Amino acid sequence: MIDRFKSVIALCLVIIASFDESQCKLYPISPFPDELATAMFPNERMSLDDCHLRYYKHGKQGLVAPAFGEPAYLREFAHMAAIGWTKPDGTISWKCGGSLVWDNYVLTAAHCVTDNGSSPDVARFGDINIFSDEDDQFAQQLRIVQIIRHPDHRFSTTYNDIALLKLEANVTLHPTVSPACLWKDEDIRFPTLEATGWGDTGFAQERTPTLLKVTLKPINNSECHESYGTSLRRLREGIKNHQMCAGDERMDTCPGDSGGPLQVRLLHNGKMTPFLVGVTSFGSACGNANPGVYTRVSSFFTWIEETIRKEENFPISWNMNPITCALRFVHLREYEDDLIQSRSEDYLSIDGTKAHMTFNYGELNHVVTIGWKNRNVRRNNCSGTLIEDDVVLTLAECASNAGIAASYIELKDPSDRIDIAEIRVHPAYRANSLYNNIAVLKLKKRVKFNSNRTPVCIWYSHNIPSPQLQVAGIGRTDINKLNYGDMFDFVYDPMETYLLPRASVNTNQNCTIPREFLPRLSNGLANEHLCVGNPIFLVPNSCRLVYGAPMQLPMYRTDRFYTFAYGLNSFGRDCGFGEAAVSTRLHSHMDWLKTVLLPNFRTANSVQFVNPDLKEDDLCDYGDDTRGVCTHYERCPKIWDDFNAQRIVHFCSSSRIVCCPKRFILKERLTSDELDSCSAEYRNLHANYYDILQTSSAPHIVTLLGTAASNRCLGSLITKSIVVTAASCVALLNSPRQAAMADGSIAQIRQTTVHPNYDRMRAANDIALVQLQRPIVPTAEVIPACIWTNLTHTPLHLRLYRENTEDPPPQMVTMYNTDCQRDYTQKISADQLCVDQVVPLDPPNSCYHAGDQLVWPEPDNGEDDPSADATAASHVVGFYSYGEQCSSNNPGVFTRISSYVEWIRENI
């Protein structure tokens, strides 16, 4: 049975630690194969799994943690006291245990204050082996000068079995000698407790010289009563409320442990503080599996506090408060286990980044507060999660209160409010239920995203790729700040702040639900519930869930990391410490979210539109005021995307004939041309992929020259004799006369062809072809580029070649036209492409010019992550048409070259 215990050895250790308070977080994981070089952006929004594309520019990079070193000590039982009787020969008989609860007071059992008529006179601390001087380096021994037994205690009974022993002086506070705190709540939620002592290790066995501990389970008093009944003379009234029981199938504390602590260690500041739950009172013969009986500390909290206050004439109530007590001695406590990276005889290696609790350092900048203008119906602790610049997810129960809908969301402070335009509550939600507890809030105006305010991404799968998640919480600053070192330099700071503890993902079968939430779960946990938790408990009132905020995890996608939300905090206590925190799993409600957030989304049982009167080649209505032609589905790549995105599809006479927008209809070609072979034909001349990213020009870039020396704009060589540019560029030059190649040579221009439907006022069909007098001879310095021909997708990450600059081409990212449209009053058509700067440029460098070329370098080896020696083929994706980015950093509007592939073919 001795193997049930763990010996405690006091060692002076040195901690080698890696620590930065801002880095005590879960680091981004990389579960995705996608890479920036080959990432594709859909021309129309087709999925909610697009956050890493849509908000690429707001993704984050880089995490580093510094190191520190400090001395520390093993300090698990620094409050443990051995209580002794001095014999006539000067030796001491150690017969009881106790716990230091104030600098000069020990809490013990009342029946320990006398032994055959004599009282204890000495208490010893910081000594694990009380019969050896080998570990006496930190031992402190003080005389007992006063014994204060509870006034209602009688030696003839086991009731009110509690006493205080006053010492001759204060102990010297040290990591190996410091007071425990007192558990003051009658509710004991802990599944296990620890008991310690120097008692017998089993019935009729010798007492142990070394302090031992055992893990016990609390047993309710009615069950405990069955073990003892009222047959014991000292227990005639049975187990009373001020008593509690704990036991184990194989082990209980023994008589020598009388007065010792029954405790739980609670987490705060990255440290573990012992809280006394009970004082060992009595039990039947140890080791026989009957539970032990303990005096419940919470029942005597007021007596303990008042007694010390009267004796010391000092107001101690504030210091006895659980949070204050924990903070008073935080510098003396042991570290939580997860911080200990490795342990040897002389050293501890501590990794501060593994702390369970950390502050919010921008990781919760997508969390908003939900408010009501009607003060009478305001609800506290209702938050939401930004998933788009005008969309917030929250709990259904937070969408209204007392029948009044929420009015606004609040960002950083009360002055930063945005009114709610529309509320969509899950149709299956029922009031006071914890099922389908989700709602969408659409805002009246957009939130401006930047480095300090970014959206969260929605995790689209039921499977969780990490064993741990971050849980959004809120709590006091002082009790959660990671403490390190043995110097007391803590500042009391009760101000509340967002917290981001980590918690392990649990199955629903292993989810410990706080009992107060069970009435709202009539059918138990469902697949839509995501359960997380930590086995350790917190100091009371350290952290509470932020309802409607996410359970989240940072993850890498397209070379940056983004915060992904797995669920919305729905219910739980203490942020999942000790008992579970449960969220509404977003994946479970993905179809409903799509119907709310995606245009034309259809569910699996949606009706498809069929018009049997329309035959192949008939005109049809595609929707959204778009005209189409009834076409065989194989000639309409757009339809495949519509099916994959579960958008509504309009059929004509049969399931093979679909209504296809004219611009997406593929024309049949009998022969290939130079445009088809560009990538392969010039592969041996292609430049290094990384060199392309850093140089201000490229072999396909052509500068078109007008009559005046200052009149110039850019184009791209797409065959040996054809340059493509913007019609607005040609108009600016009043028809270009010459073309300057990338190698400095000058070519004469034969003719210019402007798209016949070019409209300067609307910037529509802003494209032109320039034919050279003679075909060029391809070299490494001058070669044609490819043109981007995909009608449904565009590369995410582009480079913009600008006229009149020697700077490397800035990084640009593709946008949805619908997002871009909100910055412009002029209609942006499907034949136009919006892009945004990844890093805003300062004026005047931010100004673009007509014909500036938007290019995607495609790695020739086809790899997502090009090697150092990889070459690349350049694809012209578009060219600048118009925009207001010069002063406002608004997105630029470009001609989408893939919309004009057939026109280009017809004119070369």
Confidence at residue 18, expressed as pLDDT on a 0 to 100 scale: 41
Is 207 a residue whose pLDDT tops 60? no
pLDDT at 859: 83
The mean-pLDDT minimum among 85-89, 146-150, 647-651, 757-761 falls in 647-651
Domains 80-332 and 359-597 are alike in CATH topology: yes
Looking at residue 12, its pLDDT comes to 33
**Strongest mean pLDDT among 57-66, 799-808, 827-836:** 827-836
Pairing of strands 496-499, 502-506: unpaired
Q: What is the pLDDT of residues 265-296, one digit of tens each?
A: 999 999 999 999 999 998 754 555 678 899 99
More confident residue, 691 or 173: 173
Among 877, 894, 800, 879, which residue's Cα sits nearest to residue 846?
Answer: 800
Domain positions in the chain: 80-332, 359-597, 608-661, 677-772, 786-906
CATH code for the structural domain at 80-332: 2.40.10.10
Confidence class of residue 452 from pLDDT cuts 50, 70 and 90? confident
Fold of the domain built from segment(s) 359-597 = Thrombin, subunit H (2.40.10)
**Predicted confidence (pLDDT) at residue 674 exceeds the cutoff of 80:** no
Q: Residues 17-24: what's their mean pLDDT?
A: 46
Q: What is the pLDDT of residues 486-545, one digit of tens each?
A: 555 567 889 999 999 999 999 999 999 999 999 999 999 999 999 999 999 999 999 999
Q: pLDDT tens digit string along 775-796?
A: 999 999 999 999 999 888 999 9
pLDDT digits 0-9 by tens, 111-129: 999 877 899 999 999 988 8
Tokens linked to 339? 């911080």
Rounding to the nearest 10 degrees, give the CA dihedral for residues 182, 186, 187, 193: 40
The arithmetic mean of pLDDT across residues 860-874, rounded, is 73
- Other beta carbons within 10 Å of 71: 11
- The per-residue pLDDT for 807 is 83
User: How would you label 778-809 residue by residue, b for 16+ Cβ within 10 Å and e otherwise?
Assistant: beeebbbbbbbeebbbbbbbbbbbbbebeeeb
Residues 619-624: what's their mean pLDDT?
81
- Is the confidence at residue 233, as pLDDT, over 50? yes
Band (579; pLDDT cuts 50, 70, 90):
very high
pLDDT in the model for residue 415? 75
Per-residue pLDDT tens for 160-172?
A: 999 999 999 999 9
Name beta bridge partners: 786: 875
| The pLDDT of residue 180 is above 70 | yes
Residues labelled catalytic: 111, 161, 258
Number of residues in the chain: 908
Mean pLDDT along residues 623-638: 82
Query: Rounded distance, CA 595 to CA 606, Å?
Result: 11
Give 4's pLDDT tier (boundaries 50, 70, 90).
Answer: very low
Tell me the sheet residues that pair with 562.
555
Bridge partner list, 620: 628
Choose the most confident range, by mean pLDDT, from 19-23, 362-366, 434-438: 434-438
Q: Which two tokens stand for residue 128?
A: 């694990």
Pairing of strands 650-651, 609-610: parallel
Average pLDDT over residues 803-814: 88
pLDDT at 817: 94
Pick the more confident residue, 664 or 801: 801
Fold of the domain spanning 786-906: Thrombin, subunit H (2.40.10)
Task: Count CB neighbours of 590 within 10 A.
Answer: 18
Which ranges of 467-603 would DSSP assign to H, the alpha helix? 590-597
Give the mean pLDDT of 624-641: 82
Half-sphere exposure for 876 (CA within 13 Å, toward CB): 37
Q: How many CB atoms lie within 10 A of CB 529?
A: 23
Is the confidence at residue 10, as pLDDT, over 50?
no
Q: What is the pLDDT of residue 583?
A: 98
Which pair of structure tokens corresponds to residue 115? Answer: 């032994």
Residues 685-727: pLDDT tens digits?
888 877 877 787 799 999 999 887 778 999 999 999 999 999 9
pLDDT band at 887 (very low <50, low <70, confident <90, very high): low
Residue 313 pLDDT: 85
Q: Which region among 66-80, 81-95, 644-658 has the lowest average model confidence (pLDDT)?
A: 66-80
Higher pLDDT, 134 or 845: 134
Q: What is the rounded distance in angstroms from the CA atom of residue 122 to the CA atom of residue 106?
A: 11
Residue in this structure with the two tokens 């690429």, named with its chain if needed: 56
CATH number assigned to the domain covering 677-772: 2.40.10.10
pLDDT digits (tens, 9 = 90+) for 360-379: 877 899 999 999 998 888 88
Residue 897: both structure tokens together: 């070259």
Confidence of residue 806 (pLDDT cuts 50, 70, 90): confident
Q: What is the pLDDT of residue 341?
A: 77
Lookup result for tokens 């050293």: 347
More confident residue, 597 or 636: 597
Residue 5 has pLDDT above 50, yes or no: no
User: What is the predicted pLDDT for the residue at 14?
Assistant: 37
Residues 705, 740 contacting (CB under 8 angstroms): yes
Mean pLDDT, the chain, as a whole number?
A: 85
Whether 811 has a pLDDT exceeding 80, the answer reads yes
Residue 601 has what pLDDT? 73
Whole-number pLDDT of residue 808: 86
The lowest-confidence range among 343-347, 355-359, 674-678, 859-863 is 343-347
- Cis? peptide before 844, omega within 30° of 0: yes
Q: In what order do the strands lie in the sheet with 657-661?
A: 609-610, 650-651, 657-661, 626-632, 619-623
Identify the weakest region by mean pLDDT among 113-127, 655-669, 799-813: 655-669
Whether 403 shows a pLDDT value over 80: the answer reads yes
Query: By CB neighbour count within 10 A (0-12 exposed, 13-18 middle, 19+ buried), where does 345 fall?
Result: exposed
* Rounded distance between C-alpha atoms, residue 556 and residue 729, angstroms: 40
For residues 689 and 873, what is the distance between their CA atoms, to the nearest angstrom?
8
Contact (Cβ atoms closer than 8 angstroms) between residue 739 and residue 773: no
What pLDDT sits at residue 851? 93
Q: Look at residue 707 in the predicted model and tell me its pLDDT.
A: 81
